[in-house]
Amino acid sequence: MKLFKNLSPARMIATGFLSVIFIGSILLMLPISLNSGENLSYVNALFTATSAVCVTGLTTVETATTFSVFGRAVIAMLIQIGGLGVMSVGVGLLMLTGKHVSFKERQLVKESISFKGMGGVIKLLRAILIMTLCFEVTGTIINFFIFLKYYNPIDAFGVALFHTISSFNNAGFDVFGPMNGQASLISFSDNPLLLLVTAFLIIFGGLGFYTIFDILKTKKFKKFHLHTKVVLVSTVILLIAGTLIFKLTDNLSWLNSFFNSTTARTAGFATVDISILSRGGLFVLMILMFIGASPGSTGGGIKTTTVFTVLLSTFSAAANRNNTVFKRKIPAIIVTKAFMIALLAFTIIITSAFLIFIFEPKFDFEDILFEVFSAFGTVGLSTGITSMLSSASKVVIIVTMFVGRLGPLTAATLWTFKSVSSACYSEEELTIG
């Protein structure tokens, strides 16, 4: 117990995620979690639990036909815990019981929601829990009336609740089953209300709780914090650019182009068969999956602010200017971290893809690469090879999903065993480029 308390925040968060994944995998193996006649290997149970906690959505088995109501409830609970963050949920439960939240616990929440400073952490966490409840209750009510057209009232409520939790937490899981021989939201691609409500939940879940809190509190763009401004501008640009490119590359309807531009950034729902998209469309999806959502959100990827910082600093260096935006200068340490995250992310993706290339020589290059991008970005989109992967490849995807949810920089700090020495050497120039 003493050893656990002495863990760094990053290691404690990682341990918390691993613990929830392990417990979830055991629960999904129970007979009560499975439909009659269904069997589930531990690798597939572990894969499903990891995908749920890491809010990814990749599945090796069909969720609707494999899992019972209890099993789907377990998956929904894992998605909710994974979306909010293990530490945030734990501290939230302490708050509900009226117990004191220690400094260590506040620090863990701060790390898990990417919040700066220690003041106001509990206030922000309380706001996060209330916002989540409001979004998910509203989404469930609207989706309930939509699904009444397809299910009886009890099933419609269950599907609406699961779909709302999966949407707001950017998970991409669905319990529709293969309707008309089609998976995910393909059978609902002509239902504007469902797609718009789902996109709305995905976008707000991916903005980040701190951003939403700042918007509600400040209300004026000029007074927003720099973080909020960058997140909003980046999100709008990516949504518009993605919509236009999907319309250009695959001639999808405007609604489906917009929805796929939205869902590609970590949600994972599909209104079209991904395997039939053009190579241009798949390439755009991989870029959007790699970028992902925003810091402190339910989504994954390297985050919008990271990409914004990398591009801004690159253009600023080329033009011999300071890294300034919205009349604010971005600190050099933030620029360094942004490049580190991007480099680590590429390294993880390349390594994972290389291993699966070895394990799965029968699959096409682009299918494997797409699968790895989807796993790292915690998206859940697939060209259809997930269920056909070998156990070794599934383990690689499991690790990739976990690192993607934890964050490459946080994952890298897990290996830091001692503080950096204060001694430094003299500088010497190095020729590069």
The predicted-structure confidence for 227-249, as pLDDT tens digits, reads as follows: 899 999 999 999 999 999 999 99
Q: Read off the pLDDT band of 3 (50, 70, 90).
A: very low
- Look at phi and psi of residue 252 and say left if phi exceeds 0, alpha if psi is from -120 to 50, else beta: beta
Q: In this predicted model, what pLDDT tens digit does every residue of 198-215 receive, in sequence order?
A: 999 999 988 888 888 888
User: Rounded distance, CA 24 to CA 54, Å?
Assistant: 12
User: Rounded distance, CA 369 to CA 349, Å?
Assistant: 8
Question: At residue 4, does pLDDT exceed 60?
Answer: no
Whole-structure pTM value:
0.88
With a CB cutoff of 8 Å and minimum separation 6, the contacts of 76 are 161, 162, 165, 166
Q: In this predicted model, what pLDDT tens digit does every residue of 302-326 receive, in sequence order?
A: 999 999 999 999 998 888 888 888 8
Beta strands in 213-342 (DSSP E): 324-325, 328-329
Q: Read off the pLDDT band of 9 (50, 70, 90).
A: low
Q: Read off the pLDDT band of 289 (50, 70, 90).
A: very high
Q: What is the mean pLDDT of the chain?
A: 85
**85 with 114: CB under 8 angstroms?**
no
pLDDT at 208: 84
User: Rounded distance, CA 197 to CA 78, Å?
Assistant: 22
Cα-based torsion angle of the residue sequence 402, 350, 409, 295 in order, rounded to the nearest 10 degrees = -70
**209 with 113: CB under 8 angstroms?**
yes
User: At 399, which amino acid appears?
Assistant: V
Q: Read off the pLDDT band of 2 (50, 70, 90).
A: very low
pLDDT at 147: 92
Look at residues 213, 200, 166, 3 and name the one whose alpha carbon lies nearest to residue 72. 166
Mean pLDDT on 60-75: 92
DSSP single-letter state for residue 224: S
Q: In this predicted model, what pLDDT tens digit does every residue of 94-109 receive, in sequence order?
A: 555 555 556 555 666 6
pLDDT at 411: 72
- Look at phi and psi of residue 55 and say left if phi exceeds 0, alpha if psi is from -120 to 50, else beta: left
What is the 3-class SS of 113-150, one letter each residue? Answer: CCCCCCCCHHHHHHHHHHHHHHHHHHHHHHHHHHHCCC
Task: Round the CA-based radius of gyration of the chain to a whole number and report it.
Answer: 21
